[in-house]
Amino acid sequence: MNEDKPQRHPSSYRDPSGFVFTYQNQLYRQVNKCFSADFETFVRSGLYQSLVDQKFLIPHKVVPQNFTGDEAWFATLKPERIERISYPYEWSFSMLKDAALLTLQLALKALEKDMILKDASPYNVQFYKGRAVFIDTLSFENYKEGEPWIAYRQFCENFLAPLSLMHYVGLPLQGLFLAYPDGIPLLLAKKLLPFKSKLNALLYLHLHLHASLSAKEVKQERKTILSKQKLINLLKGLQSLVSSFRFDKYENVWGKYYEEAETRPGYLDEKKTVISSWLSNLADAKSVIDIGGNKGEFSLLAATPERTVICADGEHHAIERLYQQTKEQSITNVLPLCIDFTNPSPAIGVNNKERSSFFERASSDLAMALALVHHLAIGKNISFDLIAEMCAQLGKTLIIEFVTREDEKVQLLLRYKKDIYDWYTEENFQAAFSKHFKVIERRLLTTSSRILYLMKGL
């Protein structure tokens, strides 16, 4: 990519109001002339500053240059850059719920200034410094009395449908966003929801009835007139409905099962001591990814003030619990994400460039893979070579744990499988990883047969 010329971001093509682009490794947003009146109202009304002050909206600086040379140019903005980008199919239930509540709150705040939120896409929300934040400055336009909320259906498909399904079904379904990137069709959600969901008056109105009415062919377009107060009532009704959603059943059943077991007394403490020592000598590692981080115990250990950490795990309940913990304890530099490392988020969208793959976004100074290798190698039949390649893509430096065949957890995995894993040896593990890394230190934990490695990329 030629950074000497402005490069339009591949996901920023839908809105004629403006677009995001990069230039000389900096991120900018162009505001077009057609949106000038709305943008000026957004700023002069005080709405922009109010949302920034409340940490609802990412702040920006106005840059006087027209970098693109576009005749449609009105203004150039330089937003505060978010390095760790995530997408709704990687969020836990509460993350999606918080993104929904933020969207509704913004819509209500906008109406106070006679503006309206025109876009309710979850892709306009990121998790930054421990909270949901809106990133699309051009989603606020002047409100016209009597007009309905143009983003109503979009909100229902992208937030209400998946949240209600998870609430009633009790299973993590955020992966549906990969099949339906523009939102779950309301008719599909209606058919998947149990009958008792119809007894919820607000859900019946905003999803079941909404789906039925949308399915009918309307020969003549009918303009819906909605007063400002009715619009406020609609938004507050959605706010109440979303706030009522819970996701407790699945976590209660499985929560204790996946907590890291101490194979012998002192194992966890010894492991923490070794890793803490290594982390203290890795001051240059400003970004960390904890691969298969479970409930985030070691992610939190790595999360010193100067670092940002992604804790990625395929177990939704673990990520949900960690997200709740980061909120309760105001932890601002740990991003929990639901990632199955045997099937990580791919690049999707137009030309497979609109949403980049997880590996493209997650590459870090340091990768940690603790109590993971045996699950991938024996649990999923993934070779050491492939695991090493994955780790090399994600971290320049690696802290990894090798669990020997004698370990009780490996024996548990082998109990119900044919043992075809004669290749599962430390020697073969070292040989595979030596193609990508140099071993700096090897530490056998005295409280178990597990071995920790500190490695540097070649």
| DSSP of 387-438 | HHHHHHHHEEEEEEEE--TTSHHHHHHHHTS----TT-SHHHHHHHHTTTEE
pLDDT greater at residue 151 or residue 254: 151
On whether residue 256 sits in a domain, the answer given is no
Instruction: Clarify whether residues 145 and 213 are in a common domain.
Output: yes
Instruction: Clarify whether residues 69 and 94 are in a common domain.
Output: no
CA angle, 370 as apex, 369 and 371 as ends, to 5°?
125
On whether residue 186 sits in a domain, the answer given is yes
Instruction: Clarify whether residues 121 and 192 are in a common domain.
Output: yes
pLDDT tens digits for range 345-383: 999 999 999 999 999 999 999 999 998 999 999 999 999
Last residue of a domain, one of 247, 279, 302: 247
Those residues whose C-beta lies under 8 Å from the C-beta of residue 33, and which sit 6 or more positions away, are 72, 73, 74
Instruction: Clarify whether residues 213 and 126 are in a common domain.
Output: yes
Alpha helix (H) residue ranges in 170-308: 176-179, 186-192, 201-203, 210-215, 228-244, 249-254, 267-280, 297-302
On whether residue 1 sits in a domain, the answer given is no
For a pLDDT cut of 90, what percent of the chain falls above it? 88
DSSP 104-128: HHHHHHHHHTTEEE----GGGEEEE
Which sign, positive or negative, has the C-alpha torsion 203, 204, 205, 210? positive
On whether residue 254 sits in a domain, the answer given is no
Those residues whose C-beta lies under 8 Å from the C-beta of residue 124, and which sit 6 or more positions away, are 103, 134, 135, 136, 139
In the predicted model, is pLDDT for residue 18 greater than 60? yes
Instruction: Clarify whether residues 353 and 436 are in a common domain.
Output: yes
Instruction: Clarify whether residues 96 and 158 are in a common domain.
Output: yes
Instruction: Domain count for the chain, please give it.
Output: 3
Closest CA to 100 of 287, 245, 202, 310: 245
Q: What pLDDT, on a 0 to 100 scale, did the predictor assign at position 174?
A: 95
Residue 265: what are its φ and ψ, rounded to 5°? -55, 135
Look up residue 137 and give its DSSP letter: G
Q: How confident is the model at residue 3 (pLDDT cuts 50, 70, 90)?
A: low
**In 3-state terms, what secondary structure has residue 338?**
strand
CATH number of the domain bearing residue 300: 3.40.50.150
Contact status, residue 162 vs residue 176, Cβ threshold 8 Å: yes
Which of 8-22, 37-51, 78-92, 356-370 is the least confident region?
8-22
pLDDT tens digits for range 211-241: 998 866 554 455 678 899 999 999 999 999 9
Instruction: Clarify whether residues 436 and 342 are in a common domain.
Output: yes
Contact status, residue 89 vs residue 123, Cβ threshold 8 Å: no
Contact status, residue 259 vs residue 105, Cβ threshold 8 Å: no
Q: What pLDDT, on a 0 to 100 scale, did the predictor assign at position 220?
A: 44
Q: What pLDDT, on a 0 to 100 scale, did the predictor assign at position 253?
A: 39
Q: What is the domain range of residue 118?
A: 88-247
Those residues whose C-beta lies under 8 Å from the C-beta of residue 164, and which sit 6 or more positions away, are 189, 193, 197, 203, 207, 245
Instruction: Clarify whether residues 368 and 399 are in a common domain.
Output: yes
Strand 287-291 versus strand 308-313 pairing type: parallel
On whether residue 121 sits in a domain, the answer given is yes
On whether residue 172 sits in a domain, the answer given is yes
On whether residue 381 sits in a domain, the answer given is yes
Instruction: Clarify whether residues 92 and 74 are in a common domain.
Output: no
Q: How confident is the model at residue 447 (pLDDT cuts 50, 70, 90)?
A: confident
Those residues whose C-beta lies under 8 Å from the C-beta of residue 407, and which sit 6 or more positions away, are 263, 374, 448, 449, 450
Instruction: Clarify whether residues 327 and 375 are in a common domain.
Output: yes
Look up residue 283 and give its DSSP letter: T
User: What's the order of all strands across the beta sheet hosting 60-63?
Assistant: 7-8, 18-23, 26-32, 73-79, 60-63
On whether residue 2 sits in a domain, the answer given is no
